[in-house]
Amino acid sequence: MSHASSLGSRPGLPPENDPSTGWPEFSATTRPGAWEPDILGEGFSYTTLPQGSDAEGELCATLVRYRLPAPEPAHAGTTAGSRVRATLERLWPRPSSTDSSHSAGNAEPKAGFVLAVHGWSDYFYNTELARYWTARGYAFYALDLRRYGRSLREHHLNPGFTASLDEYDADLEAALEVIRSLEGTDAQGICVAHSTGGLVASLWVNRHPRAFDALVLNSPWLELQGSYLVRYAAQGVVEPIARLRPRAKLHLPELDNYWRSMSRRAHGSWDLHPRWRPPVSFPATAGWITAVMAGHREVARGLDIKVPVLVLTSKTSHLGPVFDESMMHNDSVLEVNVVRERSLKLGREVTNAIIPGAMHDVFASGPEPRAAAYASIDSWGAGYLPGHGARVEAALGRS
């Protein structure tokens, strides 16, 4: 990663050494059980999870995994290790504890894995997130849901479309089947989910209480902007359309503010795939927004998630029709106060971590908010995730 030029730069112009110019428009379907090199580079690979077909044709989900590259020669180990340790200590400080030897997080670690789930009009791209979890001894995986990212195909006329969030159950089940076959049926599982993916994951974990051992939600979309009153009004307009024409596109404002804050082609720090994470989000359909509102309705009634939940959000929101610099340091997509209020409806043990200066995707924010977010996970994990404290100690003490 490197930072974009000034806020006056024109979006869409490829920066120097932009790898996205060489990325394929669509991912190739893998052979059953095969892992192919991924666009994210060394250590990353992907496998296709077939999911049948619909009116538009073949469907699939895609599982991405990260494996540490081969170790460097012994004579280079000390210098490389020192650099890694210094970076980890700078980005992810040790969690404080008055008596860490007796906390759940300092128990002997067992095998563990993380599954990341993206948000709306998005896909998995965050290599740093993968390296953070891998440094703590977890096997890292990410899922591109059907009609998103690596699972998007040329015949998909409505990227991201679904008429029911339950449709993603099959994608999650297929991903977990592969992961469990590789990591073990008793491995500790953590789901890390962003925005709409946070809504999908929350509903899934509520229905499948044994699927994961913990849930980390990155600015989850748990309610429409404003309040449930806005949702009630929207339902009355959209649901009749969705019943007759679920793929009908809604005429909503086309904003590129969030993309501008993230993409290295504008003002952000990330190289994003131009089709998988376009400047303007995928067109919203009547069926999709109705499915999302149904999920919001379920959360509002109250879920009963039995595993620990950590919710990460920016301290403040800044919503507006025109991009400005403050969107680099605020959530420019959701109202964070609404998110935090709704999060208390998720389950029995919900922790809210407020990250000043973060964007909507907390893990795509500037270096300081990202470091604060990772430190929050370490502190929370030391209390709620058996073995996590020991994993942190091992990661920071590894040479």
Query: What structural domains does the chain harbor?
Result: 35-66+103-397 (3.40.50.1820)
**b/e map 190-199, b = 16+ CB within 10 Å:** bbbbbbbbbb
Please report the pLDDT score of residue 3 as a whole number: 36
- Record the pTM: 0.87
Residue ranges for the chain with pLDDT beneath 50: 1-11, 76-77, 81, 84, 93-102, 229, 231, 399
Please report the pLDDT score of residue 351 as a whole number: 98
Structure tokens at 10: 């024109």
Cα Rg of the chain, angstroms: 20
**d(C-alpha 254, C-alpha 23), whole Å:** 25
Segment 343-387, tens digit of pLDDT? 999 999 999 999 999 999 999 999 999 999 999 999 999 999 999
Please report the pLDDT score of residue 97 as a whole number: 39
Sheet holding 188-194, edge to edge: 36-37, 44-54, 57-66, 139-144, 112-117, 188-194, 214-218, 309-314, 350-355
